[in-house]
Structure 1
Amino acid sequence: MTDDGTTNPLGQPIGAEVPGWEQRPHPPRTPIEGRICRIEPLDPDRHAGDLFAAVSADTEGRMWTYLPYGPFVEEDLYRAWLAEAATGSDPLFYTIVDTATGKALGLASYLRIDTRNGSIEVGHVAYPPALQRTIAGTEAQFLLMRRAFDELGYRRYEWKCNALNDASKRAAERYGFTYEGTFRQAAVVKGRNRDTAWFSILDSEWPAVRAGFEAWLGPANFDGQGRQTQSLADLIGLHS
């Protein structure tokens, strides 16, 4: 995909030109409205209570296994962590809010924000049980992608995870990311080695991914019990 046959006067292969490329803007601290959920900039004063209640439902602490922080067993400790996280611009944290109830359900962020080259990563995805395997959880990922590609004009969208985190790798593939490889001994997290699996979506791939998400999220794709008619991966494949 990256070898387009372009060469310089010396006959050496070089990359394709990117006509009119300009540095992209940094993501704003503004909401993103969806049908099932809304993405809001993290505000500990508004969101901490709901978020702590949501994460506390994960009594075994499974959602924290591959995150570099947590679990938080005391609300004051979690509020302090949220307060610090909310001040940063990279990572830039957002809260996932249920539009029907107004309750904050989970977190995600943009990070490794490279405005010069148009590359951005989604990460720090913290989905408590109430958000796992839900339409809202999937829509939240779509809303963040849509902002990065359609609103901000980024050309590369990344997903990285611990190579041992099979659930995260399956989610990346379901969302239309392409696996690019594993960086061995990439980090030490909670005193343990982390090999990091890399995935990406390019701007050239985004139209098919977007069409698949839009078809999957449409009310017609769900029966009276809320069960999907067609899978997201199949719908993305139909538009590729």
Structure 2
Amino acid sequence: MTKTENPNGGSTQIKGQYVTLELINQSHIASLFKYLGFPDNKQIVDYVQGFPYVENEEELANHLFGSLREHPDLTIYVIKACEAQLGPPSLSDSNSHTSVLGICGYRLDPPANIAKLDDIIHSPLLQRTYAATEAQYLMHRQLFEGLPVAYRRVWVVSNSFNFRSRQYTERIGYKYEGTFRKDKITRWGTTRDSDCLSMLDEEWPINKRVLLKWLNSANFDTYGKQIKKLDEIRAQEL
């Protein structure tokens, strides 16, 4: 698959101020492998079900492109950015987005008008940054506004022990639906419970407003520190 082909519809490249989402292709693998920190930083995929500990670029490519072949409903974007410009007050433009700092993806179910988030992996450099939240905004705008089918529901499941992931998902507007008990077997052979969260199409407009207000450069001081948290902005919007 090349970056100019998207069998599931929608944009092949989504440009933001600090990040660009681009359909994954072979040219991204070396940079992605480097910034995720493989093979030393294997723990970055501890909670990513089915994602192997990879030792080299070939193994990473085999897993990602193998998943795309196995699941025709799957779309994977890489998250490209300038590693030195990941949020205010620095200035950035898409021409400087050359480092592959993570991936995000989803699986579409057009007959049901439902999308399920797939693997979202941020490099240590991308984690807890403005750019990471902008990437989530761009992907969700694509799902609710940018596809041929109007999707009614986006949902995600995560390991119940992955508290940071659930907290962040709720901050951007997802609502907890319940826990799938004994849902999976982990890579260590232990039982995993999975938390299920979702966002509906009627909830997207307010979540979009909250994200855009948080992403506004006026919400950051001269040191790049946020002035209002997502939760504070949401409370004002409700």
Pairs within 5 Å for 1:97-136: 97-98=80-81, 99=94, 100-111=96-107, 113-136=108-131
TM-aligned CA deviation for residue 57 of structure 1? 6.6
For 1:189, which of 186, 191, 196 is the aligned residue? 186
Q: Find the residue that maps to 2:111 and give its secondary structure.
A: coil
- Secondary structure, in 3 states, of the residue corresponding to 2:218? helix
Which residue number corresponds to residue 75 of structure 1? 57
Gaps of 5+ in 2: 1-6, 82-93
Q: What is the TM-score with the length of structure 2 in the denominator?
A: 0.83
Shift in Å at residue 198 of structure 1? 0.6
| Equivalent residue letter for 2:180 | F
Partner of 1:239: 237
Change (3 A) 1:117 1:101: closer
Q: Is 1:63 aligned to 2:47, yes or no?
A: no
Q: Give the match for residue 164 of structure 1.
A: 161
> Is the alpha carbon distance of 1:84 and 1:29 closer, same or farther for their aligned partners in structure 2, counting shifts above 3 Å?
farther
Where relative contact order (Cα < 8 A, 6+ residues apart) is larger, the structure is 2
CA distance in 1 between counterparts of 2:57 and 2:146 reads: 35
Residue type matched to 1:180 in 2? E
> Which position in structure 2 is the counterpart of 1:93?
76
Change (3 A) 1:227 1:57: farther
What is the CA-CA distance between 1:33 and the residue it aligns to? 1.3
Partner residue, 1:174: 171
Q: CA deviation at 1:26?
A: 4.0
Distance 1:182 1:221 in 2: 35
Aligned length in residues = 214
8 Å CA contact 2:20, 2:97 repeated in 1: no
Find the aligned partners of 1:120 and 1:135 in 2 and give their Cα distance: 25
Cα distance in 1 for residues equivalent to 2:113 and 2:197: 16
**Are the counterparts in 2 of residues 43 and 86 from structure 1 also a CA contact under 8 Å?**
no
What's the Cα RMSD here? 1.9
- TM-score scaled by length of structure 1: 0.82
Question: Alpha-carbon deviations, 1:107-142, whole Å to 9, x = none?
Answer: 01112x221121112220111101110111111111
In structure 2, what is the Cα distance between the partners aligned to 1:218 and 1:134?
A: 14
Q: Secondary structure at the residue paired with 1:160?
A: strand
Q: Verify: 1:52 aligned to 2:33, yes or no.
A: yes
1:199 has 2:158 as partner = no
Q: 1:166 to 1:143 in 2, by over 3 A?
A: same
- TM superposition outliers: structure 1 runs of 4+ over 6 Å: none
